[in-house]
Chain A
């Protein structure tokens, strides 16, 4: 077995026992990346040199007998919308093609403090807008299970690279499902925590009310291990919750007896792929066999979820992306006649179609005369849905549904039908609208072998319950085939 095939917690043990060095590990992954990433395009920037240097430093520390964190010496991939000091951060856009981030995001700072080794910046939909990693200026990212198919998105690069053993784990970001949906497509575990559990400082904002940074891993154990390091209050993010984390990994517990799992059956009429529904029902059976209780539930006002999400997220995006104006950094068009012309040309040339679409949509719904009819209404609708979920969590511990209504679709699909693309998020956006934690774990494959994801959601700040449920499921479930590359 090659080093790159191990899970992160296994690597952590091997490093700790000095069976391997971090330099060995990083070299193994760099070779793997150089061998397979041509097919997948999961990296935007590879930091092989600095990663090896960092690995040497960590190895030296370990030899000196220093007590190191579980993450020490293990490489990690960072989605390219998270700021890593002195490393280019493109956000998958021509707009930031040459932008070098001058500071570390809080999550990156915490990784560095844990002696984690940042190995590269991962491909993504432009400014995290998309569900397929096809809107990236640096080309589409492919699915390791079938390179004619998409990796999902927007954190497609993270999920594909973890799935293809190019990195043991990664940090993605999730605004409407951008961690969970690609995880579902690539057979990885993707975790979005409670809004406010992980600092957003240094994460390029898409929709500030929903954005969360989170782990994409090979298993639930790795997820808990990584989450423990990045979670917790940050005084640089005013929306950060005053909560302490750090013991989810140690407290992982394989026991779901008596756990109440709610299933909103009426949502699943829209699942077009029978395999997905079958896979989902099989997972429920696994839970039942483990002693969990399955309950029928109804989430109210679900039909408003998708429109509300797209109105609010686009409104916030239109404002968040306004700073990319060609004045201070990023792309600036040539041959501009005046200031306005510079704004128009730089933004027209620097942004791709999907960004422009959402900026225009967001600008529209915030405009005088439309604000009440769109933005305000969407906020009310989001509140209704959040209220409904919150009251459901008084009765159940977990809400279960498929992560995505389908498995990975073909590259090129849905690009000219944005609404169809937006529907990929129909099951994932609930957790963002309500701010609750949600996880996607592999739960099977469709008839051609593409992974299916099971999504579990829990009440706000009940990360441990959620991780325990996912952990129990993972232990009881046979797992899925690894991709063959």
Chain B
């Protein structure tokens, strides 16, 4: 084990799915034809002025509340000045001095325990355009400005994360929260969520080491790879007796390596100053109260509850908790108190998950209801149908609005528990399998299983397997 302790902080950008852009009325839409969602404002034409979209403030405040932040009732926008062809005004309207949200935390389950990562700040800003490099000429680059002015929140964590795995769990929790709040599309392939990573190493009990920042990381799994690479790189340097220099690195996920972008000495000076075109944003206590009422129990909290209160396995708890409609279904099931959470969990994780996975459907696209599931479990518990018949019934219930009773009778799946009927089956099977009967009598106990199996087969799986076994045993005595 390394003598160094890894310290990680993440700066996560999430695109908000407001109808329009942050400073103009253009549609906020991915995939429109090139340079179609643009206007004088987002193109930065001379004379155009930004007007802050109030929904962006609302969305960001809701995320702030979800991450237990203090909401600044007066927050300011600032200009971040730098030249780049995808940034038409040559400054980004962002928040530097007074962010919308500060000093929060997020709890999530990782590695058998509840972990807490503190949130330094959440601020709002605009996205930049997209450079499209020509396939034909190395000298030609085109710019698509559709993404210019798409609203972003930047969520800056404190350096509380200790491993790549924990970073992954943290990001998954953020993603699930964004998705619960309905403020981000969370489409990773469209770049809805992107994260920069800060890594430093120190020895236990010593102050934090010098950090390096890694940019251009496009997926959560790339975050893991980048952290692992960077940890190794810094460990090597330190073991060689070298000093870590503060640097910004560009992660190349294909090569699996990072490359130097700039050192601290030639870091950009963004010359932040208050945006004179937009007065401070005011948020009333009343609005904050109103927004906080719209925040449901969040997936990270649910997951912890499922594990610690119901004893559900963490993978299963995550599957259920991080899918809002499934979690809601699960919670409603539990509220009926008809069966144990674990029982519901096994149905959700078994047949339901398999079906959703195979059909690529959402829970809402199925016909399954809480009452129907309860009836189905009751039928099994009351020996009306067998477990395997129940699976057949469940498959139908997903696609058809029908009562459990009806479907059982329609498919003729009622379990046979009548002694006479079962005896008749057993007698037939025993007479056709004399060898197995004598094997059993000679001490080969596994012959019993075979005989029960044959009976079940003959009954089209409708025989009550427990009773069946009893009758076979009594007949063979």
- The interface residues of chain A lying within 8 Å CB-to-CB of B440 are none
- The interface residues of chain B lying within 8 Å CB-to-CB of A201 are 47-49
Q: Which of B47, B51, B83 has the most CB of A within 10 A?
A: B47
- The interface residues of chain A lying within 8 Å CB-to-CB of B277 are 205, 208, 238-239
Q: How far is the CA of A316 from the CA of B273 in the complex (A)?
A: 9
- The interface residues of chain B lying within 8 Å CB-to-CB of A105 are 47
List A193-224 residues whose CB lies under 8 Å from chain B. Answer: 200-205, 207-209
Q: In the complex the two chains form, is A323's CB within 8 Å of B271's CB?
A: no
Q: How far is the CA of A237 from the CA of B50 in the complex (A)?
A: 7
Q: How far is the CA of A446 from the CA of B40 in the complex (A)?
A: 46
- The interface residues of chain B lying within 8 Å CB-to-CB of A319 are 79, 81, 90-91, 271, 273
Cβ of B336 to closest chain A Cβ, rounded Å: 51
Cβ of A64 to closest chain B Cβ, rounded Å: 34
Cβ of B56 to closest chain A Cβ, rounded Å: 14
Q: In the complex the two chains form, is A103's CB within 8 Å of B90's CB?
A: no
Q: In the complex the two chains form, is A89's CB within 8 Å of B50's CB?
A: no
Residue B89 lies at the interface, judged by CB distance under 8 Å to chain A: yes
Q: In the complex the two chains form, is B46's CB within 8 Å of A325's CB?
A: no
- The interface residues of chain B lying within 8 Å CB-to-CB of A204 are 46-47
Q: How far is the CA of A238 from the CA of B40 in the complex (A)?
A: 16
Residue B44 lies at the interface, judged by CB distance under 8 Å to chain A: yes
Residue B43 lies at the interface, judged by CB distance under 8 Å to chain A: yes
Q: How far is the CA of A209 from the CA of B275 in the complex (A)?
A: 9
- Picked from B40, B47, B79, the residue with its CB within 8 Å of the CB of A203 is B47
Cβ of A214 to closest chain B Cβ, rounded Å: 16
Q: In the complex the two chains form, is B44's CB within 8 Å of A323's CB?
A: yes
Interface Cβ pair total, 8 Å cutoff? 100
Residue B311 lies at the interface, judged by CB distance under 8 Å to chain A: no
Interface of chain A, main secondary structure: loop
List B261-284 residues whose CB lies under 8 Å from chain A. Answer: 269, 271-273, 276-279
Residue A458 lies at the interface, judged by CB distance under 8 Å to chain B: no
- The interface residues of chain A lying within 8 Å CB-to-CB of B114 are none
Q: In the complex the two chains form, is A322's CB within 8 Å of B273's CB?
A: no
Q: In the complex the two chains form, is B47's CB within 8 Å of A238's CB?
A: no
Cβ of B80 to closest chain A Cβ, rounded Å: 10
List A367-388 residues whose CB lies under 8 Å from chain B. Answer: 367-368, 371, 375
Q: In the complex the two chains form, is A200's CB within 8 Å of B81's CB?
A: no
List A301-329 residues whose CB lies under 8 Å from chain B. Answer: 315-316, 318-319, 322-323, 325, 327-329
- Picked from A102, A103, A235, A322, the residue with its CB within 8 Å of the CB of B91 is A322
Q: How far is the CA of A99 from the CA of B45 in the complex (A)?
A: 10
Contacts A83-B46, A102-B45: A323 and B90 contacting too (C-beta < 8 A)?
yes
Q: How far is the CA of A89 from the CA of B48 in the complex (A)?
A: 14
Q: In the complex the two chains form, is A200's CB within 8 Å of B49's CB?
A: yes
Interface of chain B, main secondary structure: loop
On chain A, the number of residues with a Cβ less than 8 Å from chain B's Cβ atoms is: 43
Cβ of A291 to closest chain B Cβ, rounded Å: 40
Cβ of A20 to closest chain B Cβ, rounded Å: 34
Cβ of B48 to closest chain A Cβ, rounded Å: 7
Contact flags (1/0) for A229-271 with B, using CB distance below 8 Å?
Answer: 0000001111100000000000000000000000000000000
Cβ of A154 to closest chain B Cβ, rounded Å: 15
Cβ of B147 to closest chain A Cβ, rounded Å: 15
Q: How far is the CA of A117 from the CA of B258 in the complex (A)?
A: 61
Residue A459 lies at the interface, judged by CB distance under 8 Å to chain B: no
Q: In this complex, what residue of B is CB-closest to A82? A: B47
- Picked from A207, A327, A339, A366, the residue with its CB within 8 Å of the CB of B81 is A366
- Picked from A83, A316, A327, A366, the residue with its CB within 8 Å of the CB of B47 is A83
List B79-109 residues whose CB lies under 8 Å from chain A. Answer: 79, 81, 83, 85, 88-91
Q: In the complex the two chains form, is A323's CB within 8 Å of B88's CB?
A: yes
- The interface residues of chain A lying within 8 Å CB-to-CB of B224 are none
Cβ of B170 to closest chain A Cβ, rounded Å: 31
Contacts A239-B277, A316-B276, A371-B273: A322 and B89 contacting too (C-beta < 8 A)?
yes
Q: In the complex the two chains form, is A375's CB within 8 Å of B85's CB?
A: no
Residue A96 lies at the interface, judged by CB distance under 8 Å to chain B: yes
- Picked from A238, A322, A323, A368, the residue with its CB within 8 Å of the CB of B49 is A238
Q: In the complex the two chains form, is B81's CB within 8 Å of A238's CB?
A: no
Q: How far is the CA of A202 from the CA of B45 in the complex (A)?
A: 9
Q: In the complex the two chains form, is B271's CB within 8 Å of A366's CB?
A: yes
Q: In the complex the two chains form, is A328's CB within 8 Å of B43's CB?
A: yes
Q: In this complex, what residue of B is CB-closest to A199? A: B49
Contacts A238-B51, A319-B273: A96 and B83 contacting too (C-beta < 8 A)?
no
Q: List 26 A-B contacts (CB under 8 A).
A: A81-B47, A82-B47, A91-B46, A99-B46, A101-B47, A105-B47, A200-B47, A201-B49, A203-B47, A207-B276, A208-B277, A235-B51, A237-B51, A238-B277, A238-B279, A316-B273, A318-B271, A319-B79, A323-B46, A323-B90, A325-B85, A325-B90, A339-B85, A366-B81, A367-B271, A368-B271
Q: Chain B interface (Cβ within 8 Å of chain A)?
A: 40, 43-52, 79, 81, 83, 85, 88-91, 143, 269, 271-273, 276-279
Q: Which 10 residue pairs of A and B lie closest in terms of their CB atoms, listed nearest first? A: A322-B90, A366-B271, A208-B276, A204-B46, A202-B47, A209-B276, A83-B47, A327-B85, A323-B44, A368-B269
Starting from the known contacts A103-B48, A202-B48, A204-B46, 20 additional A-B residue pairs (CB-CB under 8 Å) come to A81-B46, A82-B47, A83-B47, A201-B47, A201-B49, A202-B47, A205-B46, A237-B49, A319-B271, A322-B81, A322-B89, A323-B89, A325-B83, A325-B90, A328-B44, A328-B88, A363-B271, A366-B271, A366-B272, A367-B271
